Structures are given as structure tokens and as C-alpha cells.
Amino acid sequence: MGKKFMRRLLVLIAAMCMMITMAVPVLAEEDGETATVTGTTEDPANGILQVMLAYVDDGGNRTYYTGGTCFMINEEYVVTNKHVFDLDTVLSNGLTVRETMKNDYSLEALPQDNDSHIKLYVFANRDTNVEATVHENAQSDVLDFAALKLSEKIYGRQPLVLGDSDSINPQDTVFAMGFPEDSVQNKKFNTKEDVSISDGIISKVTVTGSVDIIEHTAPLNNGNSGGPLLNADNQVIGINEFIIDQKNYSIQINAVKEILDTYGIAYSTTAGGTDITPDDGEDDAVEPEGPDQALISSLQSEIDKAKAMDVSGYTDESVQVLNDTIGSAESVVSNPDATDEQLEASISDLQAAVTGLEEKAGLNPLVIVGIVAAVIVIIVVIIIIVAVNSSKKKKAAKARSAGVSSIPAGAAPVPPSGQQNTVPSSAGYQGMGADDGAGETTLLDAGAGETTLLSGAAGGAYLIRKKNGEKIAITSQNFAIGKERRRVNYCISDNTSVSRYHAVITKKGSDYYVADQKSSNFTFVNGVQLSPYQETLLTDKSILKLSDEEFEFHLS
């Protein structure tokens, strides 16, 4: 019995060892430590797909509403812009996506983002597609980015290679890829043969709010939103995002890679290579020699803009600060041994000096005109008073002369019977002087009436800043609020969370509307977050909140 028991025990131990050995690679793969991704730079169109937002009723019938471009980063994930499937997007019928869904399907209420009937589909070709779901954490409203997990792997397509957006420079050639705008709007399903390419150059590498952005000249449209921006080596350096004032902008891919690394989503950074995420924390890269050329170009651009400014309308003290900052920045940009930290600090200091320029205190031209007009009125009134007094004095003198000449020489005026002549003869003229004074009082009363008339003023809408009680009159049709003094009507220079061009209040008839200008930290009306560029009616005592800066809106 003892030997049999030992044999059974050894067999059991051996079986457990085999199970543990088989489980180790599975666990390692689940931890993302051995995932391998093979990317392509030979044919980037092969990794570009179309994504569509649809409503699926209980019978399985689909209606597609919006769409855009996405691209593969591994066999199970694609990335795109988050606004491609935003339910608050306004369609050509003037309604939002959620409002159109409600009307199309006679729903009792507007569908919510988590409605199980709302689905995303990624098209492998014109007639086949797979369902995709948004990764719970690998998404960002600020970056306008989302990673979508495919319900099934798509074979025959290859992921794109994610490059290094920190290595790009102004004047580098770039290519924007995606699907034509009309095909997406008409809900035509595209494949790799339909991918369009537009080329251009990088204008500048910058930061908008807290987002790292590439400004370039490769034309974008609504169809290639979410598509890749490639460098000359066909590596992805950005995700195509938006157009402002005919300028094209893409998100820098390194900001997206940080999120993918955080949540262990694999991608490739070399053609045919095997990059994995997250990394092991070891950095074998060779430190680049000399300062970052992109930072040098950015600092030089800031210097040129600052030197080109017309500073005649600003105080001498603030202009001197700007000139000193320009001098320091020029010393840094010309120093071949300058560090990236020094370049970044110079850029920040120069931008702060420009923002800190203080306008000279001076009288408004309208105020000057008003003062001149008031002086003229006062002079005219004085002339009239002097003329009237002079005329009355002449009449009084004539009356006195007439009274004296009627009394015989050597005789005194005879008082009425029974009265004594106790009042000097000059008393009557003193009474006449009092009448002249009363006349002056009448003229001054008329002047007081004019003063009351001039003090009236028409009212208008205004804001009360909660922080300090400041009253801010809304003085223009489109009243902009932000922290960039040159672009806005009201500058909030003491709150860094407010965007440079945060929101605009527009007067339409007797109503006022506010619209968020795609700010970094959002705009709220009575606690409700506004979608970018969507106008919202302001009523009396509405609470308007720009990031954490609160105002109370008032109608006159």
C-alpha cells in the first residue's frame, strides 16, 4: 500500500507541473508581455478601414448615421476620432444624431450613449463588416481619440507602424489618408482601393490647450477624420482631427501611444517589427546630441511674432518686460548648448510677456467728445447769464435815473400818510437786485434739467464675475471671452484653466446665445456641459461657467 500511494502521489505532482508549465505562456500573453505586432509601411492603405455608427432595431435592421476613417494598430484594435460617433453631431437635416434616431424609430425619449441599439461597425470591404466596441479606458475627449476593439480579427489587412511625433520638424513632408467626404456622407461602404491621399508640409508643431498638435497643409475633410497622418517613411505621426480657418490639425501620435501603453494595447513602431506594450522600463535609446530642432523652430517663431507686434498702445513698463524677454530668448535660441528645458522655458516666458502687455490708460474718444460738448454748453450758458444780467442792470439803471429826475430839486420823497421815512431810498433798488437773482436761479434750474437728460443711458446685457463681483457689459454682436487678449472682448488673464478663445456670446434680436469654442476644459450653462460650437440660449440670471470660472448673466 505504501508503494502504490507513493506512485500515485508522484503521478499527481507530475500532472500539476505540466499544467503549470502550460499555463505560464498563456498568463504571460494575457499580461501583454509577449504580444507581437507586425506593421506595414509598404502599403499603408491596407490598414485603413471605414467605421460607421448605426442604430439596430429589435428586428436586426440597421440605419447608418455617421462615419469616418479608422486604422489598425493590431489585429484586434483600430483607432479613430471620438467625434466620429458623437450622438450630438448635427446632421444635414439640422437635427442631432440622437434626435434623428428618435424620429426615425418613434422612440419615447432621446437615446443615450449606452443604448444597446447603438452600435459601431468596421468595414473590411464593401459588403462585410465586424462590430466594434469602444475601449472603456483607452479614449479621451480632450484628445478626441478612441481605441475600438473588433469583435473578430480581420485577416488580410496589416496594422500601420506608429512613428515618433517628437522627431518631426516644420517643413517635413506629410500625407493625410482616409476616405472621401461624399462617400461617408452618402453611406457608401469603402475599401482600401477607395482610400484618398493628400500631401503637404508641417507648418508648426504646437500645443493647443493641453493637446499636442501638428499644424500642416495636407487638406483634410470630414471623411478622413480619424485617419492617419504619415511621414515620408509611411509611419503614423498623427491622427487627422479638425480644420480651423482653413488650417489642418492632427493629434500627435505620441500622446495616443501613452494611452495605449497605459492599458497594454500592443502596436508596432517598426516595419515588419515586433513592438509590444507596455515596455519594460529600460531605455536603450541614445540621447540625441544638441537641442531639439522643433523647439528651436518654435522659439524662433515666437521671437519673430513678438518682434513684429505693434506695441505703441501698451505701457512702457510692460513693453520693457517684453523686450527684455525677447533678448533673453534670442540668447537661448542662438546657444548651441541650450537644453530642451531652457528652450521650453523661453517659449513659455515669451508667451507670458506677450499676454502680459498692458494697454495704456487713456480717455475714450467718445468720452473726449462728450467732455468738449459739455464745456461748450457750459460756456454758452455762462454767456447767456452774463448777457441777461447785463441787460437787467441797464434797465435798472434807467429806472433809477427816471425816479430821481421826477423829484424836484431839494425835495425828499414823500412817504404815504401816517408813515415815517425810515427806509433809505436805496432800499427799492436792493429789492430790484433780488429780482435779478431770482432770474438767475430760473436759468440754473433749466441747466439742472439738461444735466438730468444727459445722465440717462441705454442699458444692455451684462455678466457678473462671481470671483470678484466685476460687472462686464456685453458690448458687441459677437462677444468673445478667453485669456488671449488680442482675440477676445473680455480677457481672463488670471485663470490658466480658461482657454485662449474659450466661448462666444452672440446677440440675435433680443436674445443672447453662448457657444463653446472647443475649449480644453469646457463651457457649462446652469451646470450642463455644452458641445463645441453648439449655441445655447442664455436667460436672465443663467449661470455661465468657463472651466471653473463662474459668471451670472443678466438682461437689462
Give me the CATH code for the 293-355 domain, please: 1.20.1270
d(CA 61, CA 38): 36
**Grid coordinates given for 136:** 472603456
E strand or H helix that includes residue 142: none
Percent of the chain scoring above 90 in pLDDT: 49
What pLDDT does 446 receive? 37
Cα–Cα dist 428/70, whole Å: 105
Q: What tens digit of pLDDT does each residue of 488-503 get? A: 999 999 999 999 999 9
If one counts every other C-beta atom within 10 angstroms of the C-beta of residue 17, the result is 10
Give 144-167 pLDDT, tens digit per residue. Answer: 999 999 999 988 899 999 999 999
Half-sphere exposure of 457 (CA within 13 A, CB side): 4
One-letter amino acid identity for 2? G
What are the angstrom distances between the C-alpha of 245 and each of 242, 301, 430, 478? Answer: 10, 20, 80, 17
- Residue 538: φ, ψ to 5°: -100, 130
Going by CATH, does the domain composed of 44-262 fall within 2.160.10.10? Answer: no
**Residue 375: strand, helix, or coil:** helix
Q: Which of 140, 85, 141, 92 is nearest to 115 (CA)?
A: 85
Contact of 534 with 515, CB cutoff 8 Å: yes
Angle, CA of 549, 553 and 556, to the nearest 5°? 150
pLDDT for 402: 57
DSSP, res 416: P
Q: How far apart are CA 320 and CA 306, in angstroms?
A: 12
The pTM of this model reads: 0.46
Whether the per-residue pLDDT at 476 is higher than 70: the answer is yes
User: In angstroms, rounded to a whole number, what is the distance separating the alpha carbons of residues 491 and 507?
Assistant: 19
Q: Which CATH architecture has domain 462-554?
A: Sandwich (2.60)
Domain boundaries, the chain: 44-262, 293-355, 462-554
**Residue 530 burial (C-beta neighbours within 10 Å; 0-12, 13-18, 19+):** buried
Greater pLDDT, 93 or 402: 93
pLDDT class of 99 with cuts at 50, 70, 90: very high
